[in-house]
Structure 1
Amino acid sequence: MATSEKFAPFLCWVLHRRPYRNTSVIVDLLSADSGRVAAIARGGQRQPLLQPFRPLWVEWRGRGELRSLGAIEPAGVAFALQGEALYCGLYLNEMLVRLLHRDDAHPELQEVYAATLAALAAKELPVDIILRHFELRLLDLIGYGLSLDQDANGQPLLSGLRYRLSPGQGLLLDVSGPFSGEILNDIAAGHWHDEARRLARDLMREALSPHLGGRPLVSRSLFRNAGKGAS
């Protein structure tokens, strides 16, 4: 007697969704096992679980660029992000969609993502500091890590000197560089005074820019329109 095929569920987060045909949606999912996965959810426009910031158990079929979603069940409660934290959550999701290649797994990233959402929801730190921690960890996990305690030649950053960021290399000595060695050392040590927070924002924008391509981030526009500057 024939038996129905069994599919093991994956723990996933919805990063992005867009309508497809009449009632379906195409979703980008973050999975520890498979990385970023795109899938069609038939009738997904009527599925209330397919929302961001909520862990889900998801089954899918297929191995191409576009899977077909099967069963969906909650794996926990959604993080209730509001106001500035909501913009930050949208920024995280957009960054992951833009920076991650499909089916390129980074198992630790899902844990980092969930911890970041939890920190945003709990308001443990100012949101810009939470984002800086996430950006640094994300770059490290996808192979573009940025050292904040030594330059591209392996030398310690010195307080009296200035540095510039060279894509693919790291921080280089430059007498007219935009980044102060003293402030970079403060960031590495976790001393998040106002000047360190401004420098960290500018530094991370430079570090991320080569990997984002020419298109601006929609979430940054939302921040600007709301009078925020965390991203």
Structure 2
Amino acid sequence: MHLVAESAYVLHTRPWRETSLLVEVLSEHHGRIGLVARGVQGPKRQVLRAALQPFQHIRLDALARGELARLISAEALDAAPRFDGEVALAGFYVNELLLRLLQRNDPFPELYELYGRTRARLQDEGLAWTLRCFERDLLDALGSGFDWSVDAEGVAIDPAARYRLDPEQGPRRMLSDRGHGERSAAATGRALLALADDSAPEAADLPGLRQAMRSVLVHHLGPRGLKSWELLADLARVAPKRDSRRDGDGS
């Protein structure tokens, strides 16, 4: 299959052999694609190398044979965002989730659009809420999402209650006599209704929502976690209290 002028976002790049790169992209019409970019390490290929950096929006030509396609050409479509600190970690998390949950060559045009929106929001909006919306929409696209306005029994979500997320059936209301630790790792009804309405909840509701969403993602990821989660845990052990406006518990 010959890919011509295919738009894509670069998710991951790593060296391969002496002068080449292995590149993973999320393309508009063909989903996740693995590419071999040959001979791009020389001084005359600097422009091409720059176009193959993570988060870059590109247009590419490639020849697909087997699991990996051979990159013929690529050009940047914009100036890639310069993420640093917590924003870079959040972007790494988004890319890693896509790499782990998407099979190659499975078309997901809605995820291509979602990635573009999320990439822009990471620069301008609160990290935690941006990531929760990304997780919600990713699960929906993969057919594993929920109706966030009702629980697993079909009862309307109570904004004053707390809910754990059953990965298969959705929100389940927690009893009031549960221990503090178990309840603090659950989502408030207010947070679930915020997901349903696509309106940011109060900052106090975001940590529990993160924990509840993570339990669903762990189910789909299997026993091997994410490197970005490990990095976040390491950062939390050494970093001072972060800016509450960005809710610091991003991924």
Length-normalised TM-score, structure 2: 0.81
Larger displacement relative to structure 2 (163-172 or 87-96) = 163-172
**What's the RMSD between the two structures over aligned residues?**
2.1
* 1:142 maps onto 2:123 in alignment: no
Distance 1:147 1:92 in 2: 22
2:214 counterpart (185, 188, 205): 205
Residues 62-211 of structure 1 aligned to structure 2 (within 5 Å): 62-121=64-123, 123=124, 125-159=125-159, 161-175=161-175, 176=178, 178-186=186-194, 188-189=196-197, 190-211=199-220
Aligned to 2:250: 230
| Cα pair 1:163 1:179 within 8 Å, conserved | yes
Distance 2:216 2:103 in 1: 18
| Cα pair 1:151 1:170 within 8 Å, conserved | yes
| Cα pair 2:162 2:188 within 8 Å, conserved | yes
Distance 1:191 1:89 in 2: 20
Distance 2:83 2:146 in 1: 29
More helix by share: 2
Equivalent AA in structure 2 for residue 185 of structure 1: L
Runs of 5+ in structure 2 lacking a partner? Answer: 43-48, 237-247
* 1:39 maps onto 2:41 in alignment: no
Distance 1:74 1:179 in 2: 40
Aligned to 2:16: 20
| Cα pair 2:11 2:25 within 8 Å, conserved | yes
| Cα pair 1:183 1:195 within 8 Å, conserved | no
In the TM superposition, residue 192 of structure 1 has moved relative to its aligned partner by 2.0
Do the aligned partners of residues 186 and 53 (structure 1) sit closer, same or farther apart at CA in structure 2, a change above 3 Å counting? Answer: closer
CA offsets, 1:207-227, max 9 Å, x none? 111111222211122223333
Distance 1:68 1:183 in 2: 45
How many residues were matched structurally?
225
Aligned to 1:9: 5
Larger displacement relative to structure 2 (27-36 or 45-54) = 45-54
Aligned to 1:218: 227
SS in 2 for 1:225: helix
In the TM superposition, residue 18 of structure 1 has moved relative to its aligned partner by 1.8
In the TM superposition, residue 11 of structure 1 has moved relative to its aligned partner by 0.5
Runs of 5+ in structure 1 lacking a partner? Answer: none
Do the aligned partners of residues 7 and 215 (structure 1) sit closer, same or farther apart at CA in structure 2, a change above 3 Å counting? Answer: closer
Aligned to 1:56: 58
In the TM superposition, residue 160 of structure 1 has moved relative to its aligned partner by 5.1
SS in 1 for 2:51: coil
| Cα pair 2:129 2:200 within 8 Å, conserved | no
Distance 2:132 2:146 in 1: 12
Distance 2:162 2:249 in 1: 24
Aligned to 2:45: none
Equivalent AA in structure 1 for residue 60 of structure 2: V
Do the aligned partners of residues 154 and 58 (structure 1) sit closer, same or farther apart at CA in structure 2, a change above 3 Å counting? Answer: same
